[in-house]
Chain A
Amino acid sequence: MSLIWRRHRTWVVPTLFIAPSIILFGVVIVASSLQSVWISFHDWDGFGPMQWIGLGNYEELLGDPQFYVSLKNNLIWLIIFMLAPPLGLAIALLVNQQIRGMRIVKSLFFVPLVLASVAVGIVFTWVYTPQFGLLALAFSAFGQKAPALLSDEHLVTFAIVIAAIWPQIAFCMVLYLAGINSLSEDLIGAGRVDGARGWNMLYHVVLPQLTQVTFIAIAITAIGALRSFDMISVMTQGGPFGSSQVLAYQMYEQSIFSYRFGYGAAIATILFIIMLVFILWYLSRIIRAEEWSN
């Protein structure tokens, strides 16, 4: 008995260690995700039996104007969110000075990052409130009337994205701060000897060393942009008339409000496929780096 145990424990014990994680993650996350794809081929109201309709949900989706509104908004999110890495870098460069009190300043710049997105959503709803909000106050200082951002179908998505990018900039700033603190002093010194300064230095000497950080910042920001849900739910519930919906929110609305779980699953599947591009890009680089280092 103990012989068998001794012979096998080299693999049995590690297997037991990793099994709970694999089972839990596999059952709750991976299997659920796959099951959604399966549900997307059905007509299902969440109560009764599922009815197989093949690609019916996807065909309907292609003819659904709301789908294109959501898709367009996802694209707006993605594009504007790409400002987060450069702005994060800018703030990181700004505060990367050793002056008394700079440490606490740095921490205060981080704060949006740890706020709950619901809190950020409410904070910005308050800022945007017509007549009373901070924005209205700022406009009235110039004798202007602030636009009602959250009820204008053309502006609403931009207004939400600006709120959402706030913590995202802080996140990129944290990444870049770590990055610029591990820059090679030799290369910078050499650059200075060659007379590189300011933009030149940043562009030719600093940024090339930050490629890895930049890649991570862009990948995570892109994924974050596509996952957006909380802010929309809190600030507009997708309105006015669906104009601020993104795929994630449309999926939620179709499933929970209209009770169309099959259709919702189809929207989720499309979102999943779009995100897969970024996830695989991220994974491939990480794994390549991993194999290279081994």
Chain B
Amino acid sequence: MSETPRIQGATRRTVIKSIGAGAATMAFGGLARPAFAQSRTITIIFNSNTEGQIEALRAAIADFEQATGAKAELNLMDHEANKTAIRNYLVAGAPDICFWFSGNRMKAFVDRGLFDDISDLVADEGYADALGGTLSAVTVKSKQYGLPLAGTLWGNYYLKDVFDKHNLTPPTNWDELMAYNEAAKSAGITPLAFGSRELWPAAGFFDELNLRINGLDSHMALMDGKMSYLDPALTAVFDHWEELIKAGFFLENHTSYNWQEAAALLGQGKAGMMNLGNFLKDGLPAEAIPNLVFVPFPKIVDIPRYEDFSVDSVHIPANSKNKELAREYLKAFYAPKNLSAFFAPTGQIPPRNDLPPNTDPLVNQAVESLKTVAGTAQYYDRDTDPDMAQAGLNGFQEFMAKPERRQDILARLEKTRTRIFGPLDA
């Protein structure tokens, strides 16, 4: 019985293949990729459209083309679209270079054998010295499967001039947070700009609360599926969250905004703070950026400070057809000159410690802040299983809109967790 579809599948494939091949040689031959191009051209898929970053990638391409005489083709893809598409293209039609997220999200592909082991490149170029601890983000079983890129530190952001105008102070603990909430509301502005249309910002807020209340080990146990979503430890997290929701802390109708639209409200002075990573500044007008200040999420219980610090990464897919050339490109791209140009427009924290000192005050604030952090997670949807993450993101968004459904949502998440990770040992 199980043989039938396979045979059927094989015949179908053969048929299509011959149709495809036949057609390709016909009049529209121009559509087929020229054969010679495969050997001397590498393709790069980049998951952002930040202009300055694209220029830096192009500069690296120029260096690479000069050094090797080969060509490189840059494909741009929307950040969100890439998250979906990468699962397809790593298997079929892999580029030679792709951009992704380190940690668990990377490991999911490493486990499936979809990223190339580039330990050789790391050793040859001596990247370990320049990267220090960040290297662990791309290491699985002491082998490297990518190079770390900028890190994004999560926290609260506000505009100094807006705070000054309304005489607000950044909250550092829970009481101050509640006081800030009242002050902002009486000043007629939204206490926290928030856009949950694309789901994940809600998960970031969950991370903040859980890391502040239960700490890193408990958080990672939850991420690894070793802790129940019905665990009493989470009660305090959702209680605090609910308190904020009921106090009108978040932007009204946040489910219809994405983060850029929410950030625009921050920029217009209609909201006081926003909880996000440092890419937040992409959503602000240029004149507002010098006023932007980072402040860690307020302390809630007396435990060391843990933060979400997500590190992006760049990889060579295992199905790349030009792994040698791809390594040459990585070398050119990872050179301090091109790498610092790449990070300049983002306000993220560079991975190499041998780059020229950063001129962006925001980056320096984050670097300073990181020094006092006791440990880092990556981000909810990077730390847990993608299937679990999809359910979690939906659940957190729903909780933020309908906090009274807490028990239903948590029971649903626990059901999903059990399906993915199996039942917990009693």
Chain A in direct contact with chain B (Cβ < 8 angstroms): yes
Which A residues have a C-beta under 8 Å from some C-beta of B? 23-24, 27-28, 31, 35, 38, 46-48, 52, 60, 65, 130, 148, 150-151, 153, 237, 239-242, 253, 256-260
Supposing A65-B412, A240-B398 touch, asked if A257 and B91 sit within 8 A by C-beta, the answer is: no
Residues of chain B at interface, number, CB under 8 A: 33
Tell me whether A239 and B397 are in contact (CB under 8 A). yes
Tell me whether B15 and A23 are in contact (CB under 8 A). yes
Q: Which residues on the A side are within 8 Å of B130 (C-beta)?
A: none
The docked-state distance in angstroms from the alpha carbon of A259 to that of B419 is 14
Residue of A31, A47, A60, A257 touching B112 (CB-CB under 8 A): A47
Tell me whether A31 and B8 are in contact (CB under 8 A). yes
Minimum distance in angstroms from A35 CB to a CB of chain B: 6
Tell me whether B5 and A151 are in contact (CB under 8 A). no
12 new A-B contacts, CB < 8 A, other than A52-B2, A241-B255, A259-B386, are A23-B15, A65-B412, A151-B254, A151-B255, A151-B401, A239-B197, A239-B199, A241-B394, A241-B397, A256-B87, A257-B84, A259-B87
Minimum distance in angstroms from A20 CB to a CB of chain B: 9
- Taking each of A38, A47, A240, which has the highest tally of chain B beta carbons within 10 Å of its own beta carbon? A240
- Taking each of B255, B390, B391, B395, which has the highest tally of chain A beta carbons within 10 Å of its own beta carbon? B255
Tell me whether A27 and B2 are in contact (CB under 8 A). no
Q: Which residues on the B side are within 8 Å of A239 (C-beta)?
A: 197, 199, 255, 394, 397
Tell me whether B390 and A148 are in contact (CB under 8 A). no
The docked-state distance in angstroms from the alpha carbon of A24 to that of B19 is 9
Tell me whether B253 and A151 are in contact (CB under 8 A). yes
Q: Which residues on the A side are within 8 Å of B5 (C-beta)?
A: 35, 38
Which B residues have a C-beta under 8 Å from some C-beta of A? 2, 5, 8-9, 12, 15-16, 19, 84, 87, 91, 112, 196-199, 253-256, 386-387, 390-391, 394-395, 397-398, 401-402, 408, 412, 419
Tell me whether B253 and A241 are in contact (CB under 8 A). no
Residue of A151, A237, A260 touching B387 (CB-CB under 8 A): A260
Residue of A35, A48, A130 touching B9 (CB-CB under 8 A): A35
The docked-state distance in angstroms from the alpha carbon of A35 to that of B87 is 21
Q: Which residues on the A side are within 8 Å of B412 (C-beta)?
A: 65
Residue of B19, B253, B398 touching A148 (CB-CB under 8 A): B253
Q: Which residues on the B side are within 8 Å of A47 (C-beta)?
A: 91, 112
Supposing A23-B15, A151-B256 touch, asked if A240 and B87 sit within 8 A by C-beta, the answer is: no
The docked-state distance in angstroms from the alpha carbon of A242 to that of B5 is 34
Tell me whether B256 and A153 are in contact (CB under 8 A). no
The docked-state distance in angstroms from the alpha carbon of A65 to that of B395 is 12
Tell me whether B401 and A153 are in contact (CB under 8 A). yes
**29 contacting pairs across A/B (C-beta < 8 A):** A23-B15, A24-B19, A31-B8, A31-B12, A35-B9, A47-B91, A48-B112, A52-B2, A65-B408, A65-B412, A130-B253, A130-B256, A148-B253, A148-B256, A151-B254, A153-B401, A239-B255, A240-B196, A240-B197, A240-B256, A240-B397, A241-B255, A241-B395, A241-B397, A241-B401, A242-B394, A256-B84, A257-B84, A259-B87
Tell me whether A28 and B16 are in contact (CB under 8 A). yes
The docked-state distance in angstroms from the alpha carbon of A282 to that of B390 is 38
Chain A residue at minimal CB-CB distance from B401: A240
Residue of B8, B254, B387, B402 touching A35 (CB-CB under 8 A): B8
The docked-state distance in angstroms from the alpha carbon of A55 to that of B254 is 39
Chain A residue at minimal CB-CB distance from B391: A258
Q: Which residues on the B side are within 8 Å of A60 (C-beta)?
A: 419
The docked-state distance in angstroms from the alpha carbon of A48 to that of B401 is 37
Q: Which residues on the A side are within 8 Å of B197 (C-beta)?
A: 151, 239-240
Chain B residue at minimal CB-CB distance from A153: B401
Minimum distance in angstroms from B224 CB to a CB of chain A: 18
Q: Which residues on the B side are within 8 Å of A259 (C-beta)?
A: 87, 386-387
Chain A residue at minimal CB-CB distance from B16: A27
Q: Which residues on the A side are within 8 Å of B87 (C-beta)?
A: 46, 256, 259
The docked-state distance in angstroms from the alpha carbon of A244 to that of B397 is 14
Q: Which residues on the B side are within 8 Å of A130 (C-beta)?
A: 253, 256
Chain A residue at minimal CB-CB distance from B265: A131
Q: Which residues on the B side are within 8 Å of A48 (C-beta)?
A: 112
The docked-state distance in angstroms from the alpha carbon of A136 to that of B335 is 51
Chain A residue at minimal CB-CB distance from B114: A47
Chain A residue at minimal CB-CB distance from B90: A47
Minimum distance in angstroms from B79 CB to a CB of chain A: 14
Chain B residue at minimal CB-CB distance from A242: B394
The docked-state distance in angstroms from the alpha carbon of A258 to that of B253 is 26
The docked-state distance in angstroms from the alpha carbon of A31 to that of B397 is 39
Chain B residue at minimal CB-CB distance from A236: B197
Chain B residue at minimal CB-CB distance from A238: B394
Q: Which residues on the B side are within 8 Å of A153 (C-beta)?
A: 401-402
Minimum distance in angstroms from A263 CB to a CB of chain B: 10
- Taking each of B196, B401, B408, which has the highest tally of chain A beta carbons within 10 Å of its own beta carbon? B401
Chain A residue at minimal CB-CB distance from B198: A237
- Taking each of A24, A241, A260, which has the highest tally of chain B beta carbons within 10 Å of its own beta carbon? A241
* The 10 nearest A-B residue pairs measured at CB: A151-B256, A241-B398, A151-B255, A240-B255, A148-B253, A258-B387, A148-B256, A258-B390, A27-B12, A241-B397
The docked-state distance in angstroms from the alpha carbon of A257 to that of B83 is 8
Tell me whether A258 and B386 are in contact (CB under 8 A). yes
Chain A residue at minimal CB-CB distance from B109: A47
Q: Which residues on the B side are within 8 Å of A31 (C-beta)?
A: 8, 12
Q: Which residues on the A side are within 8 Å of B419 (C-beta)?
A: 60
The docked-state distance in angstroms from the alpha carbon of A260 to that of B394 is 17
Q: Which residues on the A side are within 8 Å of B398 (C-beta)?
A: 240-242
Tell me whether A253 and B390 are in contact (CB under 8 A). yes
Minimum distance in angstroms from A155 CB to a CB of chain B: 11
The docked-state distance in angstroms from the alpha carbon of A239 to that of B398 is 9
